[in-house]
Amino acid sequence: MRKYLFIFKSEVMSNLQYITNISISFIGIFLMLYIFLNLWKFIYSDPNELINGYSYNQMIWYVIFTEVIWSVVGGRKMCAKISEDVKAGNIAYNINKPYSYIGYCLSTNLGLCAVRAMLYIVLGLLIGLLFLHSFPSISILEAIAVFISFVFAIVISILMLTSIGLLSFFIEDSGPLYWMYSKFILVLGTIFPIEFFPMWARGILKYSPLNAVNYGPATLYVNFSWNSFILVIISQIVYLFIIYMICKLIYMKGVKRLNVNGG
């Protein structure tokens, strides 16, 4: 465990050097949020109106929260990097080292995400304050609970992307798979809460990984209750376990294949 902590720490240190570049890449997120702000302002004719149970302020905070998760993870590059590792055979060097590749992936990527999270959470809160002039009513203890679920969401996202990247063992190009995953996350979980979808879809979406990676933590933030916190955390733990097993399985099968083909 200590070695992963060390990898994580050195990754955080090295990314701290690029702090200005990372902050500047927030401009794109800001623009998207600004568009959503205008869009929802137009749709909510009265700020006190509730649409599908969400007030205008809750809606904007929801989008800020999910956009921050999305950009903290920054999936495209991460997935491409793992694919590259598999294809270029870098992974072969990792096989005989005394750490697991998945653990290594998780700790390096968490290092990068930690730096981004630090910046984007602050910037996200500032934007929300700028747009809405208030925060959701939430106590410090509750905020800590939301943060825990936020961290879980990041870890699960990284593992999902890792497993997609590792599929490059078996298929020529994992790009289209990443693409489908990103559309799933963006269109179904980031822009609207699940309540905005037709009844029949809601049931399915509620049990999908969306609850673990963005919808769950984001609704906690805009409308906290300890009851829903427990439900979200349980679903996150379950998904964490499932996705970790999937990741491991793909890796083991993949490496076996690598040995057969002689790398």
Partner 1 sequence: MPIIEVKKLSKTFKVKIKEKGIKGSIKSIFKPKYKTIKAVKGISFEVEKGEMIAFIGPNGAGKSTTIKMMTGILYPDAGSIKVIDYNPVKQRKQLAYNIGTVFGQKEQLWTHLTPYDNFKFFGAIYDIPNSRVEKKIEELKELFELGEFINTPVRNLSLGQRIRCEIVASLIHEPKVLFLDEPTIGLDPVVKENIRSLIKRMNKEYKTTIFLTSHDVGDIEKLCKRVIIINNGTIVLDDTMENLKYHYLNKKIVDAKMREKVNLEDEEGITILKDKGYNLKIEVDTRKRSVADAIKLLNPDNIVDINISNIPLEDIISNIYKKEDKK
Partner 2 sequence: MLTEVKNQIRVMALSTKYSLMREMLNKVTFISNVFFMILNNASFIIQWLILFSLKEDLGGFTLKEVILLWGVAASTFGISRFFFSSAFKLSDTITNGKLDAFLVLPKDVLLSVITTDVSVSALGDMIYGYIMLIVYGITVENFITFTILTICGGLIVVSISVIFSSLSFYIVKADLVSDTANSLMTNFATYPDTIFKGITKMILYTIVPVGISVYLPVRTIIKFNVYNFFIIVVLCIVLMTIAYMVFNRGLKKYSSSNLMISRV
List residues binding partner 2 (CB under 8 A): 24, 27-28, 31-32, 34-35, 38-39, 41-43, 51, 172-173, 175-176, 179, 183, 187-188, 191-192, 196-197
Please say which residue, 104 or 196, places its beta carbon nearer to partner 2: 196
CB of 20 to partner 1, least distance (A): 5
The beta strands (E) that lie in the chain are given as none
CB of 261 to partner 2, least distance (A): 21
Which of 48, 55, 30, 26 is CA-nearest to residue 193? 55
Please say which residue, 20 or 137, places its beta carbon nearer to partner 1: 20
Which of 125, 20, 24 is CA-nearest to residue 68? 125
Q: Distance between the two ends of the chain, CA-based, in angstroms?
A: 29
Stretch of residues binding partner 1 (CB under 8 A), selected from 17-25, 89-97, 188-196, 209-217: 17-25
41 interacts with, out of partner 2, partner 1, none, CB within 5 to 8 A per kind: partner 2
Instruction: Work out whether the CA dihedral 104, 109, 112, 113 comes out positive or negative.
Output: negative
User: Does position 10 bind partner 1 by CB under 8 A?
Assistant: no
CA distance 141 to 233: 15
Query: Alpha-carbon Rg of the chain, whole angstroms?
Result: 19
User: Does position 17 bind partner 1 by CB under 8 A?
Assistant: yes
Please say which residue, 79 or 117, places its beta carbon nearer to partner 1: 117
Strand, coil or helix: what is 51?
strand
- Listed in sequence order, the residues at least 6 apart from 110 whose beta carbon sits closer than 8 Å to its beta carbon are 8, 11, 154, 155, 158
CB of 22 to partner 1, least distance (A): 11
CB of 19 to partner 1, least distance (A): 6
Stretch of residues binding partner 1 (CB under 8 A), selected from 15-23, 113-121, 190-198, 242-250: 15-23
Q: Which of 5, 13, 16, 204 binds partner 1 (CB under 8 A)?
A: 16
Q: Which residue has the tokens 């999305």?
A: 70
CA distance 208 to 15: 33
CA distance 123 to 247: 33
CB of 21 to partner 1, least distance (A): 9
Cβ atoms 42, 36 nearer than 8 A: no
Q: Which of 2, 20, 88, 200 binds partner 1 (CB under 8 A)?
A: 20
Per CB under 8 A, which of residues 162..191 are in contact with partner 1?
A: none
CB of 162 to partner 1, least distance (A): 30
Please say which residue, 19 or 50, places its beta carbon nearer to partner 1: 19
Chain residues binding partner 1 by CB under 8 A are 16-17, 19-20
